A and B are shown apart, each in its own frame.
Chain A
Amino acid sequence: MPEQSSASPPALRRLTAVAGPLVWLVLVFCIFWGVDEYCARQQDRQGRFANAHSLRLMVHNASPVGVAALGMTIVIISGGIDLSAAAAIALSATVAAWCFRAEYAPVVGVSAALLTGLLTGVVNGAMVSWLRVVPFIITLGTMTIFRGVGREIAEGTPIRAFGKLPEWLLMLERPVPDPHWLLVSPGVWLMLILALLVAAMLHLTVFGRHVYAIGSNEATARLCGIDLNRTRIAVYSLAGLFVGIAGLYNLTTLSEGDPNSLPGRELDIIAAVVIGGGSLNGGRGSVLGTLSGALLMQVIRHGCRAVGVPTAYEQIIIGVIVIVAVTLDQIRQRRLDR
């Protein structure tokens, strides 16, 4: 029996798997660039899309979703999903805003956001593990619960924290870095540092192996003595921590804690992971892909605005990209499984 496959070597294959979303990003970017330049020349003006400020704004606007999507990446690799992410972000922002409004020390406010995020993750993870109900249903439930808890804390109206947030925290919201040599905003830097940490965690730690193991084949993980419940609770808790950080982005952007903010944004977060090659069946997903996915959506938004495409079409394009990207990826995957 011949043992060797005639297909491309694994290194190349892995490269295409990882670089796939990046290729998408570059492709879509170039299309908008071309169209924008063409329009600009027609109307005898400067291009609006590919200048330094616009680029900086794109990555900056991608960072809040990017940070939450990093946590979502871990959840999706482990075979789960978190529909409550946006609600939990809003809740974290609300709790933090409450602390800032009450004029506690800034550290307290920041910790409150992180702890709230972490707590939402622990709740999700514990329920998924112990109740043995699929994460889709659990997080569908907690999504509503977190919104309700947030409204109870806010007593109906958003909690204003304007003028009470410390200067160092407000840096998250500034699209232009100060000092200038930082190139991109502090919010983007924070996202990149977190991305590096998550990538290292996924690839270089025992925990990372366990996450991939339970996502690609839960039965195998169990057979190998991996503690499914413990791993899962850790996964959701970690994702919760990222939700908490995303809550700080939300708070600084709005200058208030609004429990009803970011409606439906969990789908953007999930879309970023999925465009980035994450599989809802678990076992697949990458940090680089997720960041590319988050950025891709911003590129489309900015691109559409630059060339004057109405918002309605912007949404249609994003929807089409999600479907096309995932379909192509599955075709590739099926070929690999043959």
Chain B
Amino acid sequence: MPALLEMHDIRKSFGATTALDGVSLMVDAGEVMALIGENGAGKSTLMKILSGAESADAGRMTINGRPYAPHGPNDALTAGVAMIYQELNLAPDLSVEDNIMLGQEMGKFGLLKRGEQRRRVAEVLDRLGHPELEPKTLVSQLSIGAQQLAEIARALVMQARVIVFDEPTSSLTQHDVARLFEVIRSLCDDGIGIVYISHFLEEVREVAKQYTVLRDGESVGTGLLDDVSEQELVRLMVNRDVDEMFPSVPHEPGDVLLHINGLSGRHAPDDVSLELRRGEILGITGLVGAGRTELLRCLFALDDVKAGKVTIGTLSPAAAPKARIRAGLGLVSEDRKGEGLAQTRSIADNLTYSRLTPYSRGGWLRLGERRTQVEHWMERLHVKARSPEQSIVELSGGNQQKVALARVMHQDAEVLLLDEPTRGIDIGTKAEIYRLIGELAASGKAVIFVSSYFTELLSVCDRVAVMSRGRLQDVRGASEWTEETILSTAIGTDA
């Protein structure tokens, strides 16, 4: 008998980058299949193909044995495939009911049949075990957890047979997580197949029985979670020893370089104080929305600063990115495409935008000299490209990130603020970036490394700070944390 969902030998490339190189995935009815892998392993591309947002270059898919080749998200929904993304897809100004029925409205001659709709919504919420969710409430007034329920209810109205959860717990409270797991179990009892994406291995064991591991666009292992140890899973995910993945570069913390005193932004951060030494790597983590990115953006004056003082060495720069750069700060954005790099411009331009002065004589650029310097930096960071004039879009994610890093190094920043620097890049490049961060610290720079991936923080950083709801909850030496204590600090108590 065929499985509920079968994906065979799926391949997909985007220009220069091979995102999927032969991935297979089977999901049985009434089972939870955990899909695990590092950032950039190809999980989201695979799910985009499943949901019809992208089409595969090669491979085939079946649902209940019938060929399945969606030509868009609507096809996928009709075939019974629904996605619950990390970023929820609801219209905040509509009610729960309207959101659940969005695109599925029942009506006659263009008029809604309110009564019938209400019955259907009540029925679905009841089936989810949450009849208390009031259909008339505006979605914007619900907690994230309740919004997620509304989204699951929508999938049920659409008669989904396969539901994909993409890191569904990343912004939930502990109470909401427990409730979500219950809902998932009841969905399974109804014969729905679940794909559950996460990189919290503990959590995966709690909700799923089977696993498939992706690594660099290939499926490298599948089986029962009960038969595999955590070490084996990690090995499958990274395919190398821990020493090789996290090369240790010896570095000594020196004088205090960065003082942050009571820094507050519009929403987050909320009264954060920190000190950072030369030659020190400080990790900052927390759940989505904890205010990590906002902290970096306030430090760099990209977001409005409401209160607080930032001192770098002896300087207290004005609240403008330009002044912060001059004072020695450098920021690598978490959003490479939207903010980090001007995608259509060349490597040379992107690498030197923050410091064109060395090549400027009376406003005119000395392009030859700049080219030589850019080539030097590309060589130093192993940026693979044809020439410094190649535009950023044509590079793989890993090489793009190296250009972003090269920019802050070229600008000779003393304090490097790295926001999710390893997101969406291949494992080889990750190891290179870890080494680079170590080398920067060894050369006396100070590094703030923001990540939601605890393993890398605990392996690379000297100290780790955990944020929750905009506040700095705790800062300790990396050896004093475990992944469990980080997670419980990050979740905090239910408010």
Contact = CB atoms under 8 A, between A and B. Distances in A.
A227 interface: yes
Interface stretch (B60-68, B246-254, B332-340, B447-455): B332-340
B-side interface size class: 35 or more
A225 B343 CA distance: 17
Interface string A307-337: 0000000000000000000000000000011
A221 B365 contact: no
Given A3-B396, A209-B353, A224-B354, A217 B339 contact: yes
A213 B345 contact: yes
Contacts of A182: none
Interface in B310-341: 321-322, 324-326, 331, 333, 335, 338-341
Interface in A13-54: none
Nearest to A222: B321
Contact of B364 (A205, A223, A225, A338): A205
| Interface-centre pick from A3, A221, A283 (highest chain B CB count, 10 A) | A3
A212 interface: yes
B18 A223 contact: no
A205 B365 CA distance: 5
B350 interface: yes
B216 A204 contact: no
Contact of B353 (A9, A224, A227): A224
A9 to B, nearest CB: 7
Contacts of A221: 342, 353
Given A10-B387, A283-B342, A206 B354 contact: no
Nearest to A336: B393
Nearest to B335: A219
Contact of B349 (A7, A205, A213, A225): A213
Given A2-B18, A204-B364, A205-B364, A216 B325 contact: no
Interface in A221-237: 221-227
Interface in B417-456: 426
| Interface-centre pick from A7, A10, A220 (highest chain B CB count, 10 A) | A220
Nearest to A217: B342
A216 B356 contact: no
Interface string B5-16: 000000000111
A284 B367 CA distance: 20
A216 B344 contact: yes
A-side interface size class: 20 to 34
A207 B349 CA distance: 12
| Interface-centre pick from B324, B326, B390 (highest chain A CB count, 10 A) | B390
A1 interface: yes
B363 interface: yes
Contacts of A5: 15-16, 394
| Interface-centre pick from A206, A208, A284 (highest chain B CB count, 10 A) | A206
A228 to B, nearest CB: 10
A225 B345 contact: no
Nearest to B399: A3
B338 A219 contact: yes
Given A225-B325, A283-B344, 13 more contacts: A3-B385, A3-B395, A7-B15, A10-B386, A10-B394, A205-B364, A212-B345, A213-B345, A216-B342, A217-B339, A217-B343, A223-B340, A223-B354
Q: Give the 6 A-B CB pairs with smallest separation, nearest first.
A: A225-B322, A224-B353, A219-B339, A224-B354, A217-B342, A225-B325
22 contacts: A1-B216, A1-B217, A3-B399, A4-B384, A7-B15, A10-B386, A204-B364, A204-B367, A205-B364, A213-B345, A216-B343, A219-B333, A220-B339, A220-B353, A222-B302, A223-B321, A223-B331, A223-B333, A227-B322, A283-B344, A284-B344, A338-B14
Interface of A: 1-5, 7, 9-10, 204-209, 212-213, 216-217, 219-227, 283-284, 336-338
